[in-house]
Amino acid sequence: MMMHVLLLPTLLAAASALRPRTVIVTGATGKTGQAVVRELLKDDQTTVRCFVRNETKAKAVLPEHPRVRIGPVDLEDPENVEQRTLDGDADAVIWCATGLASDGSTLIDQISLPTLAKALPKVPRDAPPTCVMLSSAAVTRPGWSSRKQKRFERSYDIPIVRLNPAGILGKKLNAEKKLSRATPAFCVVRPVGLNDDWPRGRPVFSQGDVAVGRSNREDVAAVLVAALDATDARGKTFEMATLQGYAPPSSFDDAFGALAYSPSRRATAATYALVQQLLPGVEQDPTRLEMGRRYEEVDSGAVDRERGAAATDREKAVAAGAAEGMKS
Protein backbone atom coordinates (compact mmCIF):
# COMPACT_ATOMS: atom_id res chain seq x y z
CA MET A 1 0.00 0.00 0.00
CA MET A 2 2.81 2.42 0.91
CA MET A 3 4.51 1.74 -2.44
CA HIS A 4 1.28 2.62 -4.25
CA VAL A 5 1.06 5.91 -2.36
CA LEU A 6 4.67 6.79 -3.19
CA LEU A 7 4.15 6.02 -6.86
CA LEU A 8 0.93 8.04 -7.19
CA PRO A 9 2.50 11.43 -8.07
CA THR A 10 4.70 9.81 -10.72
CA LEU A 11 1.74 7.96 -12.22
CA LEU A 12 -0.38 11.10 -12.27
CA ALA A 13 2.34 13.06 -14.04
CA ALA A 14 2.85 10.28 -16.58
CA ALA A 15 -0.87 10.06 -17.25
CA SER A 16 -1.17 13.82 -17.75
CA ALA A 17 1.71 13.73 -20.22
CA LEU A 18 0.10 10.97 -22.32
CA ARG A 19 -3.50 12.19 -22.63
CA PRO A 20 -4.56 14.88 -25.13
CA ARG A 21 -4.43 18.33 -23.59
CA THR A 22 -4.91 21.96 -24.53
CA VAL A 23 -2.45 24.54 -23.25
CA ILE A 24 -3.02 28.29 -23.38
CA VAL A 25 0.03 30.45 -24.10
CA THR A 26 -0.20 34.17 -23.38
CA GLY A 27 2.37 36.46 -24.95
CA ALA A 28 2.72 33.91 -27.73
CA THR A 29 4.04 36.44 -30.24
CA GLY A 30 6.99 37.42 -28.05
CA LYS A 31 10.35 35.75 -28.53
CA THR A 32 10.02 33.45 -25.53
CA GLY A 33 6.33 32.84 -26.23
CA GLN A 34 7.12 31.70 -29.76
CA ALA A 35 9.74 29.32 -28.36
CA VAL A 36 7.16 27.92 -25.93
CA VAL A 37 4.69 27.28 -28.76
CA ARG A 38 7.36 25.40 -30.73
CA GLU A 39 8.28 23.36 -27.65
CA LEU A 40 4.66 22.42 -26.93
CA LEU A 41 4.12 21.26 -30.51
CA LYS A 42 6.82 18.62 -30.07
CA ASP A 43 4.17 16.65 -28.16
CA ASP A 44 1.59 15.42 -30.66
CA GLN A 45 -0.99 15.17 -27.86
CA THR A 46 -0.90 18.92 -27.18
CA THR A 47 -3.06 21.60 -28.77
CA VAL A 48 -1.91 25.18 -28.24
CA ARG A 49 -4.32 28.08 -27.79
CA CYS A 50 -2.48 31.37 -28.32
CA PHE A 51 -3.99 34.32 -26.49
CA VAL A 52 -2.74 37.35 -28.42
CA ARG A 53 -3.43 41.05 -28.73
CA ASN A 54 -2.71 41.33 -32.46
CA GLU A 55 -4.14 38.41 -34.43
CA THR A 56 -2.56 39.54 -37.71
CA LYS A 57 0.91 39.65 -36.17
CA ALA A 58 0.34 36.29 -34.53
CA LYS A 59 -0.54 34.61 -37.81
CA ALA A 60 2.62 36.07 -39.33
CA VAL A 61 5.06 34.86 -36.64
CA LEU A 62 3.47 31.69 -35.26
CA PRO A 63 3.57 28.34 -37.07
CA GLU A 64 0.66 27.46 -39.33
CA HIS A 65 -0.25 24.18 -37.68
CA PRO A 66 -3.47 22.19 -37.16
CA ARG A 67 -2.84 22.13 -33.40
CA VAL A 68 -2.31 25.89 -33.08
CA ARG A 69 -5.36 28.06 -32.42
CA ILE A 70 -4.97 31.83 -32.42
CA GLY A 71 -7.48 34.19 -30.89
CA PRO A 72 -7.52 37.80 -29.71
CA VAL A 73 -7.82 38.35 -25.96
CA ASP A 74 -7.75 41.58 -23.98
CA LEU A 75 -5.40 40.83 -21.08
CA GLU A 76 -6.41 44.10 -19.44
CA ASP A 77 -9.96 42.79 -19.08
CA PRO A 78 -10.25 39.93 -16.57
CA GLU A 79 -13.84 39.20 -17.62
CA ASN A 80 -12.76 38.82 -21.25
CA VAL A 81 -9.89 36.56 -20.17
CA GLU A 82 -12.19 34.38 -18.10
CA GLN A 83 -14.79 34.12 -20.86
CA ARG A 84 -12.23 33.31 -23.56
CA THR A 85 -10.70 30.65 -21.29
CA LEU A 86 -14.07 29.02 -20.63
CA ASP A 87 -15.17 29.29 -24.28
CA GLY A 88 -12.72 26.60 -25.35
CA ASP A 89 -10.77 23.67 -24.00
CA ALA A 90 -8.09 24.62 -21.51
CA ASP A 91 -6.13 22.25 -19.29
CA ALA A 92 -3.21 24.51 -18.44
CA VAL A 93 -1.55 27.82 -19.20
CA ILE A 94 2.00 29.03 -19.70
CA TRP A 95 2.02 32.76 -18.99
CA CYS A 96 4.64 34.56 -21.10
CA ALA A 97 2.84 37.90 -21.46
CA THR A 98 4.04 41.08 -19.83
CA GLY A 99 3.86 44.81 -20.33
CA LEU A 100 2.25 47.82 -18.76
CA ALA A 101 -1.51 48.21 -18.89
CA SER A 102 -3.06 51.36 -20.32
CA ASP A 103 -2.90 53.03 -16.88
CA GLY A 104 0.88 53.08 -17.32
CA SER A 105 1.59 51.70 -13.87
CA THR A 106 0.17 48.16 -13.64
CA LEU A 107 1.52 45.06 -15.34
CA ILE A 108 -1.01 42.98 -17.24
CA ASP A 109 0.38 40.06 -15.22
CA GLN A 110 -1.12 41.63 -12.10
CA ILE A 111 -4.50 42.09 -13.75
CA SER A 112 -5.39 38.86 -15.53
CA LEU A 113 -2.98 36.11 -14.51
CA PRO A 114 -4.91 35.29 -11.29
CA THR A 115 -8.22 35.27 -13.18
CA LEU A 116 -6.91 32.92 -15.84
CA ALA A 117 -5.45 30.59 -13.19
CA LYS A 118 -8.79 30.40 -11.37
CA ALA A 119 -10.65 29.65 -14.62
CA LEU A 120 -8.63 26.48 -15.26
CA PRO A 121 -9.99 23.08 -14.19
CA LYS A 122 -9.28 22.11 -10.59
CA VAL A 123 -6.82 19.23 -10.25
CA PRO A 124 -5.85 16.86 -7.42
CA ARG A 125 -3.22 17.96 -4.91
CA ASP A 126 -0.75 15.44 -6.34
CA ALA A 127 -1.16 16.62 -9.93
CA PRO A 128 1.40 18.78 -11.79
CA PRO A 129 0.90 22.54 -11.97
CA THR A 130 -1.74 23.89 -14.34
CA CYS A 131 -0.38 27.44 -14.39
CA VAL A 132 3.30 28.08 -15.13
CA MET A 133 4.43 31.69 -15.02
CA LEU A 134 7.44 33.17 -16.78
CA SER A 135 8.73 35.77 -14.34
CA SER A 136 12.22 37.18 -13.85
CA ALA A 137 15.18 36.78 -11.55
CA ALA A 138 15.82 39.71 -9.18
CA VAL A 139 12.15 40.45 -8.42
CA THR A 140 12.75 40.43 -4.65
CA ARG A 141 16.01 42.38 -4.66
CA PRO A 142 14.70 45.98 -4.61
CA GLY A 143 13.10 45.11 -1.26
CA TRP A 144 16.23 43.63 0.34
CA SER A 145 17.45 45.06 3.63
CA SER A 146 20.72 47.00 3.61
CA ARG A 147 22.36 44.06 5.37
CA LYS A 148 21.22 41.64 2.68
CA GLN A 149 22.26 44.06 -0.07
CA LYS A 150 25.78 44.09 1.33
CA ARG A 151 25.94 40.35 1.95
CA PHE A 152 24.85 39.51 -1.59
CA GLU A 153 26.31 42.58 -3.28
CA ARG A 154 27.14 40.86 -6.56
CA SER A 155 23.49 39.93 -6.97
CA TYR A 156 22.17 43.30 -5.83
CA ASP A 157 24.42 45.89 -7.48
CA ILE A 158 23.52 44.89 -11.04
CA PRO A 159 21.87 46.93 -13.82
CA ILE A 160 18.33 45.56 -13.70
CA VAL A 161 18.10 46.12 -9.93
CA ARG A 162 19.80 49.53 -9.90
CA LEU A 163 17.59 50.94 -12.66
CA ASN A 164 14.48 48.71 -12.41
CA PRO A 165 12.66 50.15 -15.47
CA ALA A 166 9.05 51.10 -14.71
CA GLY A 167 9.44 49.37 -11.34
CA ILE A 168 8.92 46.09 -13.16
CA LEU A 169 10.62 43.89 -10.56
CA GLY A 170 8.22 44.75 -7.75
CA LYS A 171 5.26 44.45 -10.10
CA LYS A 172 6.39 40.98 -11.22
CA LEU A 173 6.77 39.93 -7.58
CA ASN A 174 3.26 41.18 -6.85
CA ALA A 175 1.93 39.13 -9.80
CA GLU A 176 3.70 36.04 -8.47
CA LYS A 177 2.04 36.50 -5.09
CA LYS A 178 -1.38 36.97 -6.68
CA LEU A 179 -0.89 33.77 -8.67
CA SER A 180 0.06 31.74 -5.60
CA ARG A 181 -3.08 32.97 -3.84
CA ALA A 182 -5.25 32.20 -6.88
CA THR A 183 -4.25 28.54 -7.18
CA PRO A 184 -2.02 26.01 -5.41
CA ALA A 185 -1.32 24.40 -8.80
CA PHE A 186 1.25 26.98 -9.89
CA CYS A 187 4.92 27.12 -10.79
CA VAL A 188 7.02 30.27 -11.24
CA VAL A 189 10.17 30.22 -13.39
CA ARG A 190 12.56 33.18 -13.03
CA PRO A 191 15.24 33.16 -15.73
CA VAL A 192 18.31 35.36 -15.43
CA GLY A 193 19.47 37.56 -18.32
CA LEU A 194 17.49 36.38 -21.33
CA ASN A 195 19.95 36.71 -24.19
CA ASP A 196 19.29 36.07 -27.87
CA ASP A 197 22.96 35.32 -28.59
CA TRP A 198 23.63 32.97 -25.68
CA PRO A 199 23.83 29.39 -27.00
CA ARG A 200 21.73 26.53 -25.71
CA GLY A 201 23.17 24.47 -22.91
CA ARG A 202 22.05 22.99 -19.60
CA PRO A 203 19.37 24.81 -17.61
CA VAL A 204 20.55 25.10 -14.00
CA PHE A 205 18.00 25.79 -11.26
CA SER A 206 18.58 27.75 -8.07
CA GLN A 207 16.53 29.44 -5.35
CA GLY A 208 16.78 32.40 -3.02
CA ASP A 209 16.79 34.97 -5.86
CA VAL A 210 20.56 35.43 -5.90
CA ALA A 211 21.17 34.04 -9.39
CA VAL A 212 22.97 36.06 -12.06
CA GLY A 213 24.14 35.14 -15.55
CA ARG A 214 22.43 34.36 -18.84
CA SER A 215 19.58 32.21 -20.12
CA ASN A 216 18.87 30.93 -23.61
CA ARG A 217 15.22 31.40 -24.62
CA GLU A 218 14.84 27.91 -26.04
CA ASP A 219 16.14 26.49 -22.76
CA VAL A 220 13.67 28.63 -20.84
CA ALA A 221 10.85 27.37 -23.05
CA ALA A 222 11.90 23.76 -22.45
CA VAL A 223 11.76 24.29 -18.67
CA LEU A 224 8.38 26.04 -18.78
CA VAL A 225 6.87 23.17 -20.78
CA ALA A 226 8.54 20.47 -18.69
CA ALA A 227 7.05 21.99 -15.53
CA LEU A 228 3.54 21.22 -16.82
CA ASP A 229 4.27 17.50 -16.49
CA ALA A 230 6.22 17.59 -13.23
CA THR A 231 4.40 17.02 -9.96
CA ASP A 232 7.55 18.15 -8.15
CA ALA A 233 7.36 21.55 -9.86
CA ARG A 234 3.98 22.33 -8.32
CA GLY A 235 3.94 25.16 -5.79
CA LYS A 236 7.59 26.04 -6.40
CA THR A 237 9.39 29.19 -7.48
CA PHE A 238 12.93 29.10 -8.77
CA GLU A 239 15.55 30.86 -10.86
CA MET A 240 17.30 29.35 -13.87
CA ALA A 241 20.36 30.06 -15.99
CA THR A 242 21.85 28.31 -19.00
CA LEU A 243 25.23 26.68 -18.35
CA GLN A 244 27.06 26.77 -21.65
CA GLY A 245 29.00 23.74 -22.84
CA TYR A 246 26.78 21.14 -21.14
CA ALA A 247 24.06 19.16 -22.88
CA PRO A 248 20.52 19.49 -21.51
CA PRO A 249 19.41 16.61 -19.27
CA SER A 250 17.12 13.89 -20.58
CA SER A 251 14.65 14.89 -17.85
CA PHE A 252 14.22 17.76 -15.39
CA ASP A 253 12.46 15.55 -12.85
CA ASP A 254 15.40 15.28 -10.44
CA ALA A 255 16.07 19.02 -10.64
CA PHE A 256 12.42 19.83 -9.89
CA GLY A 257 12.42 17.33 -7.03
CA ALA A 258 15.47 18.92 -5.42
CA LEU A 259 13.80 22.34 -5.23
CA ALA A 260 12.41 23.58 -1.92
CA TYR A 261 9.07 25.25 -1.32
CA SER A 262 10.88 27.87 0.74
CA PRO A 263 14.71 27.90 0.67
CA SER A 264 16.55 28.45 3.94
CA ARG A 265 18.99 31.30 4.56
CA ARG A 266 21.88 28.86 4.71
CA ALA A 267 20.88 27.36 1.36
CA THR A 268 20.61 30.83 -0.19
CA ALA A 269 24.12 31.74 0.99
CA ALA A 270 25.53 28.51 -0.47
CA THR A 271 23.68 29.14 -3.74
CA TYR A 272 25.11 32.66 -3.95
CA ALA A 273 28.66 31.32 -3.60
CA LEU A 274 28.04 28.76 -6.33
CA VAL A 275 26.28 30.89 -8.95
CA GLN A 276 29.01 33.53 -8.85
CA GLN A 277 31.40 30.86 -10.11
CA LEU A 278 29.13 30.05 -13.06
CA LEU A 279 29.13 33.56 -14.52
CA PRO A 280 30.29 34.10 -18.10
CA GLY A 281 33.65 35.69 -18.79
CA VAL A 282 36.89 35.91 -16.85
CA GLU A 283 36.32 38.80 -14.45
CA GLN A 284 32.95 37.39 -13.31
CA ASP A 285 31.92 40.58 -11.56
CA PRO A 286 28.35 41.62 -12.43
CA THR A 287 28.65 44.83 -10.37
CA ARG A 288 30.95 46.22 -13.10
CA LEU A 289 28.31 45.79 -15.79
CA GLU A 290 26.31 48.65 -17.25
CA MET A 291 22.76 48.15 -18.48
CA GLY A 292 22.76 46.80 -22.01
CA ARG A 293 26.42 45.74 -21.90
CA ARG A 294 27.97 42.26 -21.80
CA TYR A 295 30.34 40.37 -19.50
CA GLU A 296 32.82 40.12 -22.37
CA GLU A 297 33.00 43.92 -22.49
CA VAL A 298 34.03 43.91 -18.83
CA ASP A 299 36.77 41.40 -19.67
CA SER A 300 38.07 43.56 -22.55
CA GLY A 301 37.98 46.76 -20.50
CA ALA A 302 35.33 48.35 -22.72
CA VAL A 303 33.13 48.58 -19.62
CA ASP A 304 34.62 49.15 -16.19
CA ARG A 305 31.98 50.52 -13.88
CA GLU A 306 33.04 51.11 -10.31
CA ARG A 307 31.05 49.14 -7.78
CA GLY A 308 28.38 51.33 -6.21
CA ALA A 309 28.67 54.07 -8.86
CA ALA A 310 25.60 55.99 -9.95
CA ALA A 311 23.90 55.12 -13.22
CA THR A 312 25.34 56.82 -16.30
CA ASP A 313 23.26 58.89 -18.69
CA ARG A 314 23.57 56.09 -21.25
CA GLU A 315 22.21 53.55 -18.74
CA LYS A 316 19.33 55.83 -17.86
CA ALA A 317 18.47 56.18 -21.54
CA VAL A 318 18.52 52.39 -22.00
CA ALA A 319 16.29 51.93 -18.95
CA ALA A 320 13.88 54.60 -20.20
CA GLY A 321 13.70 52.84 -23.55
CA ALA A 322 12.96 49.55 -21.81
CA ALA A 323 10.18 51.16 -19.78
CA GLU A 324 8.70 52.70 -22.93
CA GLY A 325 8.78 49.30 -24.61
CA MET A 326 6.61 47.85 -21.83
CA LYS A 327 3.69 50.09 -22.71
CA SER A 328 0.80 48.45 -24.51
Note the pLDDT of residue 11. Answer: 47
- What does the DSSP assignment read for 243-289? ETTSPPPS-SHHHHHH--SS--HHHHHHHHHHHGGG-SSSS--GGG-
Q: What is the pTM of this model?
A: 0.92
Which domains occur in the chain, in start order?
2-281 (3.40.50.720)
Q: Provide the pLDDT for residue 4.
A: 46
d(CA 282, CA 276): 11
In angstroms, the Cα distances linking 106 to 76, 177, 327 are: 10, 15, 10
In angstroms, the CA 188 to CA 170 distance is: 15
What's the pLDDT score for residue 19?
A: 76
What one-letter code names the amino acid at 130? Answer: T
pLDDT in tens, the chain (328 residues): 444 444 444 544 554 456 799 999 999 999 999 999 999 999 999 999 999 999 999 999 999 999 999 999 999 999 999 999 988 889 999 999 999 999 989 999 999 999 999 999 999 999 999 999 999 999 999 999 999 999 999 999 999 999 999 999 999 999 999 999 999 999 999 999 998 889 999 999 999 999 999 999 999 999 999 999 999 999 999 999 999 999 999 999 999 999 999 999 999 999 999 999 999 889 999 999 999 888 999 999 999 899 889 888 898 998 899 888 888 5
